[in-house]
Amino acid sequence: MKPLLPSQDRRLLLLAGSGLALSGFAAAAPSASAGGAGDYPKAPVKLIVPFAPGGPTDTVARLISLKLQEMWGQPVLVDYKPGAGTAIGVDFVAKAPADGLTFGMVNSSFAVNPSLRKSLPYDTVKDLAGITQIANLQLAIVARPDAPFSTLAELVAYAKKNPGKLSYGTPGAGSTTHLGAELLKREAGFDMLHAPFKGSAPAHTELLGGRLDLVFDPFLSVLPYVKAGRMKMIATLGEKRLPGYGYPTVAETLPGFHVSALLGFVAPRATPPAVVAKIQADTAKVLRDPEMRHRVEEQGMEVVASTPAQFDAFVQSEMKRWSRVIAEAGIQAE
């Protein structure tokens, strides 16, 4: 076996979260049956995660990979390939052998990037097949504790009376939270200024320092500040209230409005349907376990476990939805 190249050696390659660096032997292992699932997998499997380690999405990736490893009796390697708004990792999956031994995790950037980034090295629809939508990551709107509004209705009324006065922060231009805020502005008929940051932490700092009025961010990211009384929860953006929390949704004020960040698995488009179905069925089985479901919900997510066809359809609907918002708001990738 050839040694790793320097560029490969720098990658963080984990064996189901164990932290053991491995030598990329999965690529040289025998393929799964080309005609069907057979006794898939016959060799180690590589799960590509297109963002850096850490955070709720990474936690869920490693939780699921450990369970699949137990079920399959084969190593499930979690291989991080961050960069270019997830495009680097997704491109790796798109160009991988279509044998089921390499598949990837995606988030909402998967549906947003076709409109946000004009030179993707892959075609989202033609080159990749949905396996399953694992979950929805819940989002929230928070304000400074001294903000002159405490509900979404009060926020909208204040913004309409004070056009251009409110500012809001997000983890970055083109993020799901940014797109959700722009969609809310259009549907509720008010305006506010956007301040994009490189991640959630600097946006939180500006809000806590009184230099921002609002932050749109993942629910779990802002929850500790809300519980400590340092931020005020205005609303969550999901279809329904999160179990165990009494926070209202935007939809309770603006019926039909909901935005969440998707989390799912995809494979090269030519992967045999039987293999895709096998991965989906086993992932769904993992997510049906009450303990696993609880662990996922602890990360601020709602379990979905959709079929491949459902996930493909959902991604295409999200692509159309966000394409319109991006065009109308003139949003560009940072």
User: Tokens 């080309």 correspond to what residue?
Assistant: 34
Give the chain's mean pLDDT: 89
Q: What is the pLDDT of residue 12?
A: 35
Q: What is the pLDDT of residue 63?
A: 97
**Domains of the chain, with CATH numbers?**
6-136+260-329 (3.40.190.150), 139-252 (3.40.190.10)
Structure tokens at 216: 């749109």
26 or 264: whose pLDDT is higher? 264
Q: What is the pLDDT of residue 334?
A: 64
Give the mean pLDDT of 43-70.
95
- Give the pLDDT confidence of 215-237 residue by residue, as tens digits: 999 999 999 999 999 999 999 99
What percent of the chain is modeled with pLDDT above 70? 89
- Give the pLDDT confidence of 256-281 residue by residue, as tens digits: 999 999 999 999 999 999 999 999 99
286 CB-near residues (< 8 Å, 6+ apart): 64, 67, 68, 71, 292
Q: What is the pLDDT of residue 38?
A: 75
- Give the pLDDT confidence of 88-147 residue by residue, as tens digits: 999 999 999 999 999 999 999 999 999 998 889 999 999 999 999 999 999 999 999 999
Q: What is the pLDDT of residue 36?
A: 61
- Give the pLDDT confidence of 161-178 residue by residue, as tens digits: 999 899 999 999 999 999
Asked if 304 and 331 count as a contact pair (C-beta separation under 8 A), the reply is no
Nearest to 129, CA basis, from 271, 239, 328, 290: 271
In which order are the strands placed within the sheet that holds 76-80? 13-15, 76-80, 45-49, 102-107, 261-268, 128-137, 301-303
